[in-house]
Structure 1
């Protein structure tokens, strides 16, 4: 039996103290946005402003969960968590995205209620607070831009950009109300509904990615057949079975396989597995490979990928 292991340490280097500091700064900025928009929404009567405040508060909670998850993910592997704690960030993302769906449903309900029961909206207050929120949204995105190599932080970064776009919608609504008056009060719940639609679209895409990691799915673009063909093309390889591919953490690919070979020499087998490891990394982006080599004439177990009992 031979084993080849490829270890990637890039994620450990990426989890710098600087990332944690930037997440905390983004958290403070989002909380500032939330407070400003809640006050402005209550004073102006703008549901769109309150909707954006709810969205920004969820983002503040998201950044907090991301920070906590980042802290947990830095722990070393132990006897209970032998793969380490990196997936803590994915679990945090799943919590945040589920909360976003709940907020989106609530905003749709409030928008419908306000559409049938309109109230007067103070456009000037809505505009001023909207501009303040836009500046803080862009500042939060700017702070996080250096860590977008991390899927967890990139997700938060994209939320900040999207929040800025939603705030632009609030500003446009304020200008419309200031120019045309209360006759266009429907613009406020309409913008609220659009923010809710954005939340649904954005969160549904992100949650699929989080679930894929937690379900041990291979990356969407991983070419399973090409890997099998590539390994079978190597000298002395007779068969490949029990090939499993998954993501132990965001952005990392792991693989394990049983390789039946006709070469009985242990030294040659060891060199062969090393060549396989390099090929998997260079051609298919596999960061960690565990290869169990078996003598082709001695393979007696079931070679199906999943055994049905």
Structure 2
């Protein structure tokens, strides 16, 4: 019951943050045109991406309650990858648009409404700060990740605020263009990182910070009766839930059902505690089996 209550609380927090962000994104787009500020438009693109992420996080937070079934035997965790890819494509298109608009302004800077920028920056700090306060006490990974996004947004708006104040005292319209390019570049860097991570998961790459050689060494050193390990496959369902299938070669030619059960139990406990492998499938073989050196390599 406590877990369900926490999950409901997380869902409500992310839902509130989503509506805050999407409403402010609309205001930003209008404000960007009103103030003729590419920096605000760049942040609007960033916030649109955050809104999509929040909407998907909200949806997948609810979806995560669903158990695995015949249609999706591993559950619904990998659906989040689809959300990450869609979000990345939207951010990519929006950032390219901002860069295309900004490049001509490097040679011919256009005046931006610095006073309007200042007030939008203050509003941005208030709205995103409120979202941080709403999410900072959350216990779920979704809440923590989303909270970090909003902290980044607050820092971005602080930069816009400083730039707008400077532009009210000195005639440097180029500052708005430089800031917009900086925000767009930051967004593109994160798009590249997110797409790279998503495709690594889709292609069933070995999760970061997990070494097959180290796992093999730990099993042989710590589990009595293990001669060798082979046909080793590790991948991740969604970047957090890691899965492994391993063939274990035992020293004894014959081993009882109870001995097999104990060996599997100890190996699974070792892999869970030391390497955060959540779902482990083990195949036990004797050293004399052909599979150990031919068919299963």
Using the size of structure 2 for normalisation, the TM-score is 0.89
Tell me which residue corresponds to 2:126. 135
For the residues of structure 2 that align with 1:13 and 1:226, how far apart are their CA atoms? 37
Does residue 164 of structure 1 match 2:157? no
- Equivalent pairs counted in the alignment come to 291
Matched residue of 1:16: which SS? helix
Tell me which residue corresponds to 1:303. 296
Residues 256 and 146 of structure 1, relative CA distance in 2, 3 Å threshold: farther
Tell me which residue corresponds to 2:52. 61
Q: Deviation string for 1:57-87 (max 9, x for gaps)?
A: 2211221122223333332211121111111
Q: Deviation string for 1:90-109 (max 9, x for gaps)?
A: 32122212322222211111
Matched residue of 1:297: which SS? coil
Gaps of 5+ in 2: none
Determine which of 275, 283, 293 is the counterpart of 2:284: 293
Tell me which residue corresponds to 2:233. 244
Tell me which residue corresponds to 2:188. 200
Q: Equivalences for 1:101-250 in 2 at 5 Å?
A: 101-147=92-138, 149-150=140-141, 152-180=142-170, 183-233=171-221, 234-250=223-239
Work out whether residues 17 and 134 of structure 2, in 8 Å CA contact, stay in contact via their aligned partners in 1. yes
Tell me which residue corresponds to 1:6. none
Gaps of 5+ in 1: 1-11, 305-309
Work out whether residues 104 and 196 of structure 1, in 8 Å CA contact, stay in contact via their aligned partners in 2. yes
Q: Equivalences for 1:24-39 in 2 at 5 Å?
A: 24-39=15-30
Work out whether residues 207 and 239 of structure 2, in 8 Å CA contact, stay in contact via their aligned partners in 1. no
Work out whether residues 259 and 293 of structure 1, in 8 Å CA contact, stay in contact via their aligned partners in 2. yes
Tell me which residue corresponds to 1:7. none
Range with bigger deviation, 104-113 or 231-240: 231-240
Residue 145 (structure 1) shift: 2.6
Work out whether residues 23 and 63 of structure 1, in 8 Å CA contact, stay in contact via their aligned partners in 2. yes
Using the size of structure 1 for normalisation, the TM-score is 0.86
The CA RMSD measured in Å over matched residues stands at 2.3
Q: Deviation string for 1:224-257 (max 9, x for gaps)?
A: 1121112223322222111111112332222111
For the residues of structure 1 that align with 2:118 and 2:265, how far apart are their CA atoms? 63
